[in-house]
Structure 1
Amino acid sequence: MAPKDHRRCVSCRRLAPRTEFWRVVRLAGGREVVWDRQEPRTPGRAAYLCPCAACLTEAQKKRRLERALKTPVPPTLWPQWWEQLAALCPQAAKEPSAVLSLDLETVAFTPDPSSRTEVES
């Protein structure tokens, strides 16, 4: 039996401490799906996903999150996850097999605004 604070990725089935995964939640009593980045955790049915390109690709292609949450995942969440993956580790977004070994509770989930470039019209 796994330790209490361990979770399993819906894509690769890797077992690890929950702090190493992204948590996706179907809110209690509804069909709304959100990316849970808060403490205390949002109540509802949760699925965990490794923050790596291989797992994100597999989950999107094979609809692993939809199956785990038993509801459709809004298409607007996928680009957010890809942007976050590139912001956390540009190498991980390029190499599908690279799994981030970060404590995600200590990492800021918003990219640095100074790293964005403005497009002039």
Structure 2
Amino acid sequence: MKSVHEPVRECICCGNKFPKSSLFRVAKNDSGIFFDASGKADGRGAYICKSAVCREKLVKQKRLNRTFKSPVEENVYRALIEQLESIQSTEQETV
């Protein structure tokens, strides 16, 4: 029986590799920077693991600035962190 290939992506904060489905994707396109729940939005994507430490690093070390090669405003970081935390808490409630 043939095994199913699952894409692997690297967290921009810790550098560890995980299956794509277990990471959060943040995307940047002409309309701005946003959380990509579908994982299929157009534009450049960055992946973040579900670790609280990585969410802190994302903001403290301004990882999106480096990844997207452009300045990202603080309010964008705050909005993304709020979204990621609410999604993760929702996932934990359903488990």
TM-score, scaled to structure 2: 0.72
8 A Cα contact 2:28 2:68, kept in partner: yes
Superposition CA RMSD, Å: 2.6
Alpha-carbon distance in structure 1 between the residues aligned to 2:32 and 2:84 = 21
- Specify the alignment match of 1:75 in structure 2: 74
Name the CA distance, whole Å, in 1 between partners of 2:9 and 2:87. Answer: 24
Counterpart in the other structure of 1:113: none
Alignment of 1:50 with 2:52, yes or no, is no
- C-alpha distance in structure 2 between counterparts of 1:38 and 1:4, whole Å: 16
Deviations 1:24-60 (A, max 9, x none): 1111xx3721111125x11111110112210011111
- Other-structure match for 2:20: 18
- Structure 2: gaps spanning 5 or more residues: none
Per-residue Cα deviation, 1:52-105 (whole angstroms, up to 9, x for no partner): 210011111111111011123343343342354256249xxxxxxxxxxxxxxx
Q: Shift of residue 4 of structure 1? A: 6.2
Number of equivalences = 86
Q: Does the aligned pair in 2 maintain the 1:12–1:55 contact within 8 Å?
A: yes
What is the alpha-carbon distance in structure 2 between the residues aligned to residue 9 and residue 62 of structure 1?
14
Which protein is richer in helix relative to its size? 2
Match of 1:7 among 6, 9, 16: 9
Which of structure 1's runs of 4+ aligned residues deviate more than 4 A?
Answer: none
Task: Supply the AA of the counterpart residue of 2:74.
Answer: P
Given the two structures, how large is their TM-score scaled by the length of structure 1? 0.58
What does residue 33 of structure 1 align with?
33
Larger C-alpha radius of gyration, 1 or 2?
1
Q: Distance in 1 between matches of 2:38 and 2:19?
A: 17
Are the equivalent residues in 1 in contact too, given 2:65–2:72 (CA < 8 A)? yes
